[in-house]
Structure 1
């Protein structure tokens, strides 16, 4: 492959740059209160931020695979951050966004196609699988930084709530993706260390792992325990249930702009 072609394979996609621009403009609209529909601005900010994080998630898999020995990821367009280049755009982008809209769950998306036979060493295979959710962890750290750094003085309430909700999505995506369930990255981390017999037995059910997780999360008791754990983790990072609740309420702009009480009432409010 020529150096010119290689550079083209790694040039950042205009689609991704457009997503970043939408994220930046909508963040500005939320911060300044420019939009007459604050919920719409929050929606655009959260959705564009979520898709950007999904692109970075898939890019991390591909970039790690490239350094692990799979040079084919460049020719497939995975290094351009273009969501349209991923093997399963429906699973990688569309379905996760739908899950966010329907239930406020940062459900992990699909995959880039890694030619695993090109990769040598179990640690490299594990690292390739871990790279994606580790990106969500990093994104969550960035989103929660103003909270745990106590740097929220002067931050508009709507922006605070939007950031809190986006942090919730990143944390849920990271935790769900690290589950050792076939088809998810957590299983990909441990798969190289399993016996050949076990891997062959698990292989047929791998395509249904994501669906199984989604179904289990719809069980009320499981959903309650899961989000209790998420809320506890976010509270340790300074993000309260108040922040994520009103962030999600604003996000659902089609339900109308919520009547948000003053932030001073947060300490005296609980959500069921």
Structure 2
């Protein structure tokens, strides 16, 4: 392969996918529709705004993992399409996009999406491995702050209420995604953060249970008082920014446009 061809291939590996541009277009259009009240069903606009915003955040989350891995030494992430921001490139379309959206619809919770496959043996240094895992949740946290700050600061006091509650609900999804991802259980980024610091014996002891980590966490959230603690923590984060959790609840109701 010639140098010019290699450079061209590298550029293509990092070119933003048309899929992501379409997502941004839907997000922008639905934002305008909700703000202006365009259309007969304003709640459908809220639905499109939240879903497109959520999928955009999933793409940015996984891109952060991949970009950090690239700088850490794994040059294969580009060839896998992880730097294009195409959500369908992240391991599995069902796990990356469809299931997270279904969880938003059913329970108003930000389920961690797909995952990028990183060749960890190419990366040296425990701090690098931890940072790669932490990069995704940091994106969700940043987005949560970006959504909550203008509401809490009163910058949107004169904005249409539908737009404000849609932002509040999308912010809540970012908060729940951050909290879930930081749980130190296999299947979540939180475990990836601490795993490099565990002994080989500890990692081997956890390995047989790794496939069931995410299932166990969601069982606890839905079947025990852990769920109450989880939501209380998420609401407390909103209140730190002087945003009432009730706004997110109203946003969730508006999001479910098919209900009365």
TM-score by length of 2: 0.96
1:72 is aligned to: 76
**Partner residue of 1:244 out of 208, 224, 248:** 248
State the Cα deviation string for residues 234-256 of structure 1 (Å, max 9, x = none).
01112212201110000000103
Residue matched to 2:49: 45
Other-structure match for 1:269: none
The structure 1 segments of at least 4 consecutive aligned residues displaced by more than 3 Å after TM superposition are none
Alpha carbons 1:64, 1:127 under 8 Å: kept: yes
Q: Which residue of 2 aligns with 1:83?
A: 87
Aligned mates of 2:151, 2:48 — CA distance in 1: 22
Task: State the shift of 1:88 in Å.
Answer: 2.4
2:148 pairs with 1:144: yes
**What is the SS of the residue equivalent to 1:218?**
helix
Task: Return the offset for 1:220.
Answer: 5.1
In the aligned structure 2, how far is the partner of 1:153 from the partner of 1:143? 14
Could you tell me which of 170, 176, 200 is aligned with 2:174? 170
Whole-Å separation in 1 of the counterparts to 2:56 and 2:120: 26
2:27 and 2:53 in contact (8 A); partners too: yes
Between 202-211 and 155-164, the greater mean CA deviation after superposition: 202-211
What is the number of equivalent residue pairs in this alignment?
256
Contact 1:88 1:112 in 2 (8 A): no
The aligned residue for residue 234 of structure 2 is: 230
TM superposition shift of 1:181 = 0.7
Gaps of 5+ in 1: 257-272
Partner of 1:133: 137
From 193, 199, 202, the equivalent of 1:198 is 202
TM-score normalized with structure 1 length: 0.92
* Match of residue 31, structure 1, among 32, 35, 53: 35
Mapped to 2, the partners of 1:167 and 1:206 lie a distance apart of 29
